[in-house]
A and B are shown apart, each in its own frame.
Chain A
Amino acid sequence: MLVAQSSDVSSDLGIYLPLVVMFALAAAFAVFSALLGPLVGPSRYNRAKFQAYECGIEPSPQPVVGGGRVPVAYYLTAMLFILFDIEMVFLYPFAVSADVLGLFGLVEIFLFIATVGFAYAYVWRRGGLDWN
């Protein structure tokens, strides 16, 4: 037996073993598949094949969209994502122990959501959530 027979299960690192096995198998499968293509597939050289796809025209030497820059709205979205991700992550332990905390917890979480909601409302009002 490779895994410890322990009564105290959660203190055992063995609970992560299946995850590691799954990761190894999935990684092996993915790498194998990615390597399989060039091995069994044909390879016939053609200059046009190595050009980036631009609907049949010669690829423009100019960089992609807007001088190689992406719209700033993506940055805002990512920033908001961090904001709500952190809020979400705090809500999980709260949700687990909400019953113990009772009314006190309700007030706390209401304050927390309201505070984040304030930032959210500000971004909304300034048009940070609008896409063109």
Chain B
Amino acid sequence: MTRAQLLADDPLWLILIKAVALLLLGALATMAMIILERKIVARMQHRPGPNRVGPNGWFQSIADAIKLPFKEQIIPDTADRKVYFLAPIISTIPAFLAFSVIPFGPEVSIFGERTVLQLVDLPVGVLVVLACSSLGVYGIVLAGWASGSPYPLLGGLRSAAQVISYEIAMGLSIVAVILYTGSLSTGDIVDAQASGWYFYLLIPSFLIYCVSMVGETNRAPFDLPEAESELVGGFHTEYSSMKFALFFLAEYVNMVIVSAFCTTLFLGGYMAPWPVSLIGDNYFNTGWWPLLWFFTKTWFFLFVFIWLRGTLPRMRYDQFMRLGWKILVPANLVWIVLVVALRAFRNEAEISATTILVAGGIVLVVLIGLSFLLPDRAAPDEDSDRVPVTGGGYPIPPLDLVVPDKDAAAPRRVRRKRQTASVGAGAEKETEQ
């Protein structure tokens, strides 16, 4: 039986189990993600991070989840109450709905019922994810508008413009995958990668997807809608209590979705990675094992999200839009034409695949180079009288300076004398104030 037939045979109780499992997965992944993010970013910044609730602070998310409903809900007078109430709901539902087309695993047996670890396998599965992300934008715009307050409005508009800009790049990067698969169904896309994962077969698409998925979820370094230094909290400034929690949930569930979708499109979905797939006639690709591979890959992307946040500074809005519209979209279109050409010529079977690959690679490199050369702004003229980092007129210590060991270098008496002197100076300062 095919995947779609197996799924169509699901009785209602099985559908319910799967749907509830997906809801739980979203909520739990959000909680895990929050604590992991705080812990990992803390570690990257050399500080302990949350360390009060539970062992080493690992229960912090649970405490937060319990706390949030008991917070007072404050709605500003200027708010449009109906839309204000609807906005968090509108952004939450599509986030969860997109989960339903993600294939988590192959055929398994649940309580004696043969089925597939996927809620629904539509012939247009890819479009479901795109439709959900385009619906989720409404939550953001409406939240910004309904609050009746300047910061949320600006944040909401920025966010919407950002999400729709990067949705184009995202949608176009999927086209190459569909060209190779010949189907819009997510299950078929995973099956088609049995011979080779697309992340190395379609490197440009993969890279563009990765950039646009960060832009699509409003995460650092593209978190302009929530730029604290400019917009306070962005579109959810006026939201509190559980409504705020819903926005938070939607944001993190969206992160999980785009990561899971990326896994499905480019990393072979639930398939076992290469060395493991050789063991025992691909034994680890059957039964419940694929869940492990799927979540490993997805959590890898989620870790990259956190990593990016801990590493990169926030981009400026014009830079961000330029990256989306002037680099990702044209590069994507050129790449699609190349892939179509490659496949068309190969099917004609007059030129060997290697020749096409080599020629295509050269053309691609030239085109990418050209796209960077396109004049956007005059190159800054050479600054000849810039102050050099070292060797100038300023007393800058050399970069390879070795601080001498103080115990060995300085005799005890001298050191103590210096210490008292400095303490004295500090005391003097304090009395002055």
A binds B: yes
A interface residue numbers (CB < 8 A to B): 1-3, 5-6, 9-10, 12, 14-19, 21-23, 25-27, 29-31, 33-34, 36-38, 40-44, 49-55, 59, 64-65, 70, 74, 77-78, 80-81, 84-85, 88, 91-92, 95-99, 102-103, 105-106, 109-110, 113, 117, 120, 124, 129-132
Size of interface on B: residues with Cβ below 8 Å to A: 92
A41 lies within 8 A of B344 (CB): no
- B19 interface contact, C-beta 8 A: yes
- B192 interface contact, C-beta 8 A: no
Q: Which of B154, B245, B322, B340 has the most CB of A within 10 A?
A: B340
A9 lies within 8 A of B4 (CB): yes
A30 lies within 8 A of B175 (CB): no
Q: Which of B10, B168, B341 has the most CB of A within 10 A?
A: B168
Choose among B72, B88, B164, B168 the residue that contacts A43 (Cβ–Cβ < 8 A).
Answer: B72
Choose among A50, A78, A80, A103 the residue that contacts B77 (Cβ–Cβ < 8 A).
Answer: A50
Measured between alpha carbons, how far is A38 from B68 in the docked complex, in Å? 11
Measured between alpha carbons, how far is A4 from B426 in the docked complex, in Å? 84
Choose among A59, A88, A132 the residue that contacts B171 (Cβ–Cβ < 8 A).
Answer: A88
Nearest first, the 6 A-B pairs at minimum CB distance are A52-B149, A37-B242, A37-B241, A95-B178, A26-B96, A131-B318
Measured between alpha carbons, how far is A30 from B246 in the docked complex, in Å? 7
A88 lies within 8 A of B175 (CB): yes
The smallest beta-carbon distance between B397 and chain A, in angstroms, is 41
Nearest residue (CB) in A for B318 is A131
A52 lies within 8 A of B150 (CB): yes
Measured between alpha carbons, how far is A24 from B12 in the docked complex, in Å? 14
A21 lies within 8 A of B243 (CB): no
A5 lies within 8 A of B9 (CB): yes
Additional A-B contacts beyond A10-B123, A109-B336 (15; CB < 8 A): A10-B4, A19-B120, A22-B99, A26-B92, A37-B240, A50-B74, A52-B149, A54-B151, A64-B149, A77-B165, A80-B325, A81-B164, A99-B347, A103-B345, A124-B326
Nearest residue (CB) in B for A40 is B69
Which residues of chain A are within 8 angstroms of B120 by Cβ–Cβ distance? Answer: 15-16, 18-19, 22
Task: Tell me which of B179-187, B214-222, B297-305, B400-408 binds A.
Answer: B179-187
A15 lies within 8 A of B89 (CB): no
Q: List 30 A-B contacts (CB under 8 A).
A: A6-B8, A16-B120, A17-B15, A22-B97, A22-B100, A22-B119, A26-B96, A26-B97, A30-B88, A33-B243, A33-B245, A34-B242, A38-B73, A42-B72, A43-B73, A50-B76, A51-B76, A52-B150, A53-B151, A53-B238, A55-B232, A78-B164, A84-B168, A88-B171, A98-B182, A98-B340, A98-B343, A102-B347, A103-B348, A113-B336
Measured between alpha carbons, how far is A131 from B78 in the docked complex, in Å? 30
B19 lies within 8 A of A18 (CB): yes
Given A5-B9, A31-B89, A52-B148, the answer on whether A19 and B97 have CB atoms closer than 8 Å is yes
Nearest residue (CB) in B for A124 is B326
A91 lies within 8 A of B75 (CB): no
A88 lies within 8 A of B317 (CB): no
Which residues of chain A are within 8 angstroms of B322 by Cβ–Cβ distance? Answer: 129-131
- B20 interface contact, C-beta 8 A: yes
Choose among A23, A85, A105 the residue that contacts B344 (Cβ–Cβ < 8 A).
Answer: A105
The smallest beta-carbon distance between B386 and chain A, in angstroms, is 28
A92 lies within 8 A of B178 (CB): yes
Main SS class of interface, B: helix
B149 lies within 8 A of A53 (CB): yes
Measured between alpha carbons, how far is A6 from B172 in the docked complex, in Å? 36
Given A55-B232, A130-B318, the answer on whether A3 and B184 have CB atoms closer than 8 Å is no
Measured between alpha carbons, how far is A45 from B326 in the docked complex, in Å? 50
A81 lies within 8 A of B168 (CB): yes
B22 lies within 8 A of A110 (CB): no
Nearest residue (CB) in A for B22 is A22
Which residues of chain B are within 8 angstroms of A41 by Cβ–Cβ distance? Answer: 69-73, 241-242
- B356 interface contact, C-beta 8 A: no
- B29 interface contact, C-beta 8 A: no
Nearest residue (CB) in A for B126 is A92
B5 lies within 8 A of A34 (CB): no
- B7 interface contact, C-beta 8 A: yes
B319-337 Cβ-contact flags toward A at 8 Å (1 or 0): 0011001100110010011
- B353 interface contact, C-beta 8 A: no
The smallest beta-carbon distance between A2 and chain B, in angstroms, is 5
B93 lies within 8 A of A30 (CB): yes
B232 lies within 8 A of A53 (CB): yes
Measured between alpha carbons, how far is A113 from B298 in the docked complex, in Å? 33
- B263 interface contact, C-beta 8 A: no
A2 lies within 8 A of B11 (CB): yes
Measured between alpha carbons, how far is A52 from B344 in the docked complex, in Å? 59
- B237 interface contact, C-beta 8 A: yes
B81-121 Cβ-contact flags toward A at 8 Å (1 or 0): 00001001100110011011000000000000000000111
A70 lies within 8 A of B19 (CB): no
